[in-house]
Copies of this chain bind each other. A is one copy, B any other.
Amino acid sequence: MSGIDEVQVQGMPRVLCDWGSSRLRAFLQIDGAIAERRDGPGIAALGAEAPAEVLARVLAPWRARMTFERTVLCGMAGSRNGLVEVPYVRAPATLSQWRAGAATVHAGADTFTVLAGIQAQNFRDVADVMRGEETQIFGALALEPALAAGRRMLVLPGTHCKWVEVRDGRIARLQTYFTGELFELLSTRSSLLRVGSAGEPDEEGFEVGLRNAARFDLAANLFETRSAQLIEGRTAGWARSLLSGLLIGAEVHSMRAHLQASGSVPTLIGEPALTDRYARALASFGTEARVLDGDRCVLAGLGAAVAGLTQA
């Protein structure tokens, strides 16, 4: 127990959580450094168990060894089905405005701080929302202060990809693309890929998808995923890569005018496998991109949020 005692002398440990639809990732922070990580189910996969019970179960091994200063959570933890529903903070929003929207819940000796999501107008001037990506964005601004100057486009691929315009450090506009979930549905549940042989992912298929996305609309392009297998003998692996190119390409094509208007190199934030694909799609439209790791950004964002909280 000496390690724990030592820790408590220097400052109480904190728990930082990124709790999205598909998974919970909890990080134990001791003296400003991440000491351990534990995973749990996403908010959309909880079943009958209450979110607070799930969280207690995931954190139990740490709790048995130490007392936390607080637990800070971002993402779907603040949604209707989460730990506590936290109203969206409206854009334009600075770090401190976002931080002020957090809800703090005391349960026995425990303190939970659930961070807010952001509501912003999208590039078509329709209201749009995010929960979790704002934490990565404020993390990116903390890691790369240059991003807080001028007009910047940040792109966060995932189940729902978020394109976020940041102006002088404020989250200004936000547009959601349904690309990740659409790819998952179409590749596993539709007739588009149930035709031919299996086959491995194929880079050429992805490139053809990107090219077609630049020339024709998505509705017109989709069925080629099936007909390429039926008529041209393409493998299902090739067709799956084609579909990926068509969908990511359609998204980049859809945003190209706003990309140009932003006048700076866009920043991709996420898992390397996904940011690589988006970087290639952007390159095919003549746009280079900078890439930041999603995990680094979410931890930096949770840290930036917690840095401004009262140590109550």
Which residues of B are found within 8 Å of A244, using beta-carbon distances?
Answer: none
Contact A223 B176 (CB under 8 A): yes
Instruction: Name A147-199 residues within 8 Å CB distance of B.
Output: 160, 175-179, 181-182, 185-186, 189-192
A119 within 8 A of B: yes
Contact A177 B127 (CB under 8 A): no
Query: In the complex this chain forms, how many copies of it are found?
Result: 2
A124 within 8 A of B: yes
State the Cβ distance, A153 to closest chain B Cβ, in Å.
15
Contact A222 B254 (CB under 8 A): no
| Stretch among A28-36, A212-220, A262-270 lining the B interface | A212-220
Which residues of B are found within 8 Å of A222, using beta-carbon distances?
Answer: 177-178, 182
State the Cβ distance, A278 to closest chain B Cβ, in Å.
14
State A230–B81 Cα separation when bound (angstroms).
Answer: 13
| Most chain B beta-carbon contacts within 10 A, residue among A175, A177, A220 | A220
Contact B129 A220 (CB under 8 A): no
A232 within 8 A of B: yes
A111 within 8 A of B: no
**Which single residue of chain B is at the shortest CB-CB distance from A232?**
B127
A227 within 8 A of B: yes
A251 within 8 A of B: yes
Whether A227 touches B178, Cβ cut-off 8 Å, given contacts A219-B254, A254-B220, is no
**Which single residue of chain B is at the shortest CB-CB distance from A160?**
B223
State the Cβ distance, A253 to closest chain B Cβ, in Å.
7
State A179–B223 Cα separation when bound (angstroms).
Answer: 10
Contact B218 A217 (CB under 8 A): yes
Whether A231 touches B179, Cβ cut-off 8 Å, given contacts A218-B217, A254-B217, is no
Which residues of B are found within 8 Å of A177, using beta-carbon distances?
Answer: 219-220, 222-223
Which residues of B are found within 8 Å of A9, using beta-carbon distances?
Answer: none
Whether A227 touches B126, Cβ cut-off 8 Å, given contacts A217-B253, A219-B251, is yes
A-B contact pairs, 11 of them (CB 8 A): A124-B212, A124-B220, A129-B230, A160-B223, A177-B220, A177-B223, A178-B222, A178-B223, A185-B185, A185-B186, A218-B219
* A-B CB proximity, top 10 nearest: A176-B223, A219-B250, A178-B222, A127-B231, A220-B254, A219-B254, A217-B254, A218-B218, A178-B223, A219-B251
